[in-house]
Amino acid sequence: MESSKVAGVSVFRPRTGGWFTGAAALVAAGGLVSVVATDGVAGLLRAWPLVGVAYGGWWLFWYPAVVVAEDAVTVRNPLATISVPWSALIDVDTKYALKLVTPSGAFTAWAAPAPGVWGTHAGKPEHVTNLPSTSYGPGGSIRPGDLKNTDSGYAAYLVRSRWQDLVESGAVDVDSPARAHRSWNVASIAGAVVLVAGAVAAGAGS
25-73 pLDDT tens trace: 999 999 999 988 888 887 777 888 899 999 999 999 999 999 999 999 9
Those residues whose C-beta lies under 8 Å from the C-beta of residue 161, and which sit 6 or more positions away, are: 132
Q: Please tell me the distance from the alpha carbon of residue 113 to that of residue 199, in angstroms, as a whole number.
A: 30
Q: Domain residues for 7? A: 2-205
Those residues whose C-beta lies under 8 Å from the C-beta of residue 3, and which sit 6 or more positions away, are: 10, 11, 12, 13, 154, 158
Whole-model pTM: value is 0.86
Q: For the residues 5-18, what does the mean pLDDT come to?
A: 86
pLDDT classification of 206: cutoffs 50, 70, 90: low
Average of per-residue pLDDT values in the chain: 87
Query: Would you say residue 205 has pLDDT above 90?
Result: no
Residue 161: per-residue pLDDT: 93
Question: What total of structural domains would you count in the chain?
Answer: 1
